[in-house]
Amino acid sequence: MTRLSKRPPLAAWDHAYLWHPFTQMQEWEQDTPLIIEKGKGSYLIDTEGRRYLDGTSSIWVNLHGHRHPQLDHALTAQLRQIAHSTFLGLSNPPAIRLAKELIRIAPKGLRRVFYSDNGSTAVEVALKMAVQYWQQAQPAAGQKQSFLHLKMAYHGDTVGAVSVGNIELFHARFKPLLFPTHQAEPPYCYRCPLSLTYPSCRMACIDPLETLLKTRHRELAGVILEPLVQAAAGMMVAPPGYLARVRELCTQYNVLLIVDEVATGFGRTGKMFACQHEGVTPDLMAISKGLTGGYMPLAATLTTEEIYRAFLGRYDEWKTFFHGHSYTGNPLGCAVALANLDIFRRERTLAQVRKKSRLLARLLKPLADLTHVGDIRQCGFMVGIELVLNRQTKTPYPLEHRIGHRVAQACRLRGLLLRPLGNVIALVPPLSISPRELARMVAILHTAICETTEDSAASF
């Protein structure tokens, strides 16, 4: 008789050896960790066989569901060729083909692709390219070495990306490491910093940004923002025309526009890239997350031919962009990214997202009547539900009350995995989710909000 092998004590090993991101490990060590072993379609499956709807698309990366046959095949087929070779001084077929495809679908005018590993590095590349561009192409424009960004911005966790971010909870401790920047109020209509109301405000929130461009343009290398949606800030959706106006101002004041499409790209907003909603072509665009459909770490920074050509010169002129990563242009990542883009065509993904986004809006409508739901913000398949202690005064829950975390825990007990942003419940389903799964997801969330906020109200 064959002896059954004993299952390894994964939970104990996790507690003994791991350090998880954005996680208070003292609390983590006191709980039994949820260990995901498998995935299928819109579901994640833990080591006990329990199934959970993936309400965050595994933190906004999964597009076509887990274990999509075409993506599985692309990855294994590439493995039969080669897993990796350096991109420094060499190239490879998947990286070349992917660059051509990215330029085909990108906003018109972007012509060059520089690969990296994740969203933070794609942003770092854009920042460094911007600074070096001005030094080499237009030195008479001034010492353009600073950046303008929005308050509450999040562009990643590396030092350069944190420098152009402004989420105090995440970034305050690292200020001594950061380079100085300029920041403007974000378009946060629910909590307008100018105490105005859209649309009668005539988008007055852009005036301070324009003032900074007017007075500081000679020192600004670029303006960086997430187009349409500030994701980690709480799914804050900009009013129509905001992005297009920023593009106009950057052109007027001779400042590069950098868009961070890491979260908003690859169909999340109903277009391939969010800046396409307003016909905007940035000077630099950072992409990652959905680039490989949630399969492999891969990122890219796209830019114009004008910026690219500013880096051309004789070897001894040292105009080279001295930046790179060990896994730049990784063939596995590029091969699965190509398959990802092919699925968009074959399955008409963007049309399906637009259709299901309208369904999602209808499903979310009853949540707006809940006592402690202050605001529901939606752009395609990116949703933020802001929970408030008092909706008349918009009084927020104290952070120590952890209302978002408690709602997420209540959802988990019912088979839905979410990751809140403070008091904001972020709902970012896989693009491939079925209408029935979408309805179940929102129904679970509705129940969890009612249950948790009622309990919370009773405790105050």
Instruction: Please say if the pLDDT value at position 5 is more than 80.
Output: no
Distance CA 138, CA 106 (A): 26
**221/128 Cα distance (integer angstroms):** 10
pLDDT tens for residues 372-414?
999 999 999 999 999 999 999 999 999 889 999 999 999 999 9
Q: What are phi and psi of 22, to 5 degrees?
A: 50, 40
Reported CATH class of domain 72-346: alpha beta
Direct distance between the N- and C-terminal alpha carbons of the chain, in angstroms, rounded to an integer = 61
User: Could you tell me if 235 and 229 are in contact, meaning their C-beta atoms sit under 8 angstroms apart?
Assistant: yes
**Mean pLDDT taken over the chain:** 96
Q: pLDDT of 75-89, one tens digit each?
A: 999 999 999 999 999
Token duo for residue 416: 């839905």
Q: How confident is the model at residue 118 (pLDDT cuts 50, 70, 90)?
A: very high
Using alpha carbons only, give the angle 278, 220, 162 rounded to the nearest 5 degrees. Answer: 80
Class level of CATH domain 10-64+349-459: alpha beta
Q: Is the pLDDT of residue 275 over 70?
A: yes
User: What is the phi/psi pair of residue 16, to 5°?
Assistant: -80, -30
Helices and strands (H, E) in the chain, number of each type: 15, 17
Listed range (127-141, 266-280, 431-445) with the worst mean pLDDT: 127-141
Return the structure tokens found at 52. Answer: 């959970």
Q: What integer pLDDT is reported at residue 1 of this predicted model?
A: 43
- Asked, as a colleague might, if the bond just before 199 is cis with ω within 30 of 0, I would say yes
Here the tokens at position 300 are 């890219």
Q: How confident is the model at residue 455 (pLDDT cuts 50, 70, 90)?
A: confident
Confidence at residue 459, expressed as pLDDT on a 0 to 100 scale? 61
Q: Is the dihedral of CA 76, 82, 85, 89 positive or negative?
A: negative
Contact criterion met (CB below 8 Å) for 303 and 283 = yes
Residue 266 has pLDDT above 90, yes or no: yes
Domain edges within the chain = 10-64+349-459, 72-346
**Cα 276 versus chain centre, distance:** 16
223, 149 in Cβ contact below 8 A?
A: yes
- What does the pLDDT read at residue 141? 80
Q: Which pair of tokens denotes residue 357?
A: 């986004």
Q: What is the pLDDT of residue 456?
A: 64
Domains 10-64+349-459 and 72-346 share a fold: no
pLDDT reading at 220 higher than 60: yes
Q: What's the confidence (pLDDT) of residue 454?
A: 85
